[in-house]
Amino acid sequence: MTVYQFQLHPLTPVEHHAYTDDNTDTVPSSPSSSQSSPESCDYPSKRGSRWQNGRRRRNAPRNIEQRPYHSPNHVSPPHDKPMTKNDMYFALDCELKELVRDYLGRDIQHLGVAHDPIEDAISALCLYAECANKGTCNRQTAECECFPGYEGKACGRQSCPNDCSGHGTCEFMKDLAFGIVYNEYYDGSTNALSGLGVGGKTFSQEHSWDNARARACVCDAGWMGLGCQERMCPYGNDVMDVIPGFDENSLLGMPGYGNEVAQVQTVTLYDADLDNANFAGKTFAIQFTSKLNETFVTQPIMWDTTDSVLAGYIESALKKLPNKVIDDVDVSVDSTVDANGVVIDVMFTGSATQGKQHKLEILHKTCQAGCTPRITGLTNLRTFSDTTLSTVEISTVGSHESYECGRRGKCDRTNGLCMCYVGFTGETCGILTALV
C-alpha cells in the first residue's frame, strides 16, 4: 500500500478555501527541489523541510515544535524560527491538493491530544488509502467491498445499524438536531435564545472532518434504539408518587382535593409595533409533539381581539387533536398591555399529558395554496429586538411525573405495550387494582 507523506505550512483563512475543492484526478508528482510560489507543486530544499533534492529527508523533524516555520511563499524568517502555538492555520502541501477528493475516502489514525490545538491539527492528518482502509478492493470489478459499518464508493462514510430497521432515516452528523422541538434549545432564557420555530436545532459542523461521514439513525415516532429496532411505550404519572384525583378544585384550595399542580406553558407573542390589535383577523396553528415523538397540528385558529374568545378557540383546537393526545387543557389569554405582548397560558390538566411535556410550537408563517394547515400567519411578529422576542417557556413545572409505563410496569419493546406489575393496570399502569 502506498502511503503519501505531506508537508505542512501555515495558511491564512482566505487561502484555506483554495484547498477544499479539487476535481482533478492527477496522481501527485515527485517533489522538486526548486523554490517557487505556493500555487505550484515544486518543493523547496532548505533546512527543516521534509523534502530535499526531490527526496524525503530521512530524519526530518516530526514534532510541530521542532519543525521550522515556513511562510506560504516558502520564505523562512531569520534563523528558521520555530512555529509557535499562535500559528493556527495549516495547509497540506501540493501533494494533498491533488488528492483531496471525496471518492478516495480517508482513514483517520488519531484525533490528537485534547487541549492542544497544534497537536490536534497535526494528528488529524488524513491517510488516503484504497477503499479508505475500511474495505477491500475487488480487482475484477474495481469496486470496494466495505467492511461492516461502512459504505460508499470508497467506504468513506459510516453506515447505520441495520439501515435503521425501516423505522427511521440514516442522517449525517451535520444534520442531527438538538432536542425534539424548537424551544428546547431556544428556551427563552436569554434574548438570543428566544424566538419561534419548528423542529430541533441543528448546528454548522463544517469544521469537523466527520460532519459528512459519521452518521446515526433518526427514528420515526414510536421507535427508539441505535437501529430504531425497539418500540416505545406510553408515558404517564407514577400513581404512587402523588395523591391522585387532581382537578380544578384543588387550584382553589378547597379541602379534600389533591394537591398536584399541573404544568403550564406560556406563549408570549410580540407585535413588531407593540400594538396587539395588529394580530386581529390573522390565522395561525399550534403543533404538539407527544412523548412518543408523534407530531399533531391543530386546525387554523382565527385571532380574536377578545381575550376570552381567543382562549376558547385555542383550547378547542388543542382538544380536537387526534387520539386524545391532549384530553384536557385550560387556556387563558392576556393582551391588555401592548408592551408585554400577548401572553397565552396553556395548562395541561388531563391525565394523558401529566408531567413534563414537549413545548408547544407556534406555526406563525404564511401557509397558502398547497400547504397545510392553510393559514395567513402572524406576519406582524417581531423578528429582531435587543430586549424581547416571542418565545415558549414552561412557566410552571408541575408536580406530576412522566415515566414510561408510569414506572409501574415494563415496556415490551416488540409491541410497545406496558406489562404492568401486580396491582397496577391501564395503558400506562396508572390504575391501582389492589391495596395491600
Number of CB atoms found within 10 A of residue 226's CB = 14
Question: What is the DSSP track for 310-351?
Answer: HHHHHHHHHHTSGGGSS--EEEEEE-S-GGG-EEEEEEE-SG
Residue 397 has pLDDT above 70, yes or no: yes
Which pTM value belongs to this model? Answer: 0.67
- Predicted local confidence at residue 258, as pLDDT: 56
Average pLDDT over residues 82-108: 37
Query: What DSSP character marks residue 365?
Result: S
Give domain limits for the chain: 1-128, 160-231, 248-396
Residue entry with cell 386546525: 299
**144, 182 Cβ separation under 8 angstroms:** no
* CB distance 406 to 428 below 8 Å: yes
Sign of the dihedral defined by the CA atoms of residues 62, 67, 70, 74, in that order: negative
- Using 50, 70 and 90 to split pLDDT, how confident is the model at 291? very high
- Alpha-carbon distance of 16 to 246, in angstroms, equals 62
Cell output for 375: 393559514
User: Sorting pLDDT into bands at 50, 70 and 90, what band is 400?
Assistant: confident
* pLDDT computed for residue 399 by the predictor: 83
> Which CATH code for domain 248-396?
2.60.40
Mean pLDDT over the full length of the chain: 76
Q: Is 204 exposed, middle or buried (0-12, 13-18, 19+ CB in 10 A)?
A: exposed
User: What single-letter DSSP state applies at residue 98?
Assistant: H
Helix (H) or strand (E) holding 250: helix 248-251
Q: Which of 193-207, 337-351, 376-390 has the highest mean pLDDT?
A: 337-351
Task: Indicate the burial class of 381 (C-beta count within 10 angstroms; 0-12, 13-18, 19 or more).
Answer: buried
Decide: residue 342, CB within 10 A, 0-12 exposed, 13-18 middle, 19+ buried. buried
Spell out the alpha helix ranges (H) of 267-345: 307-319
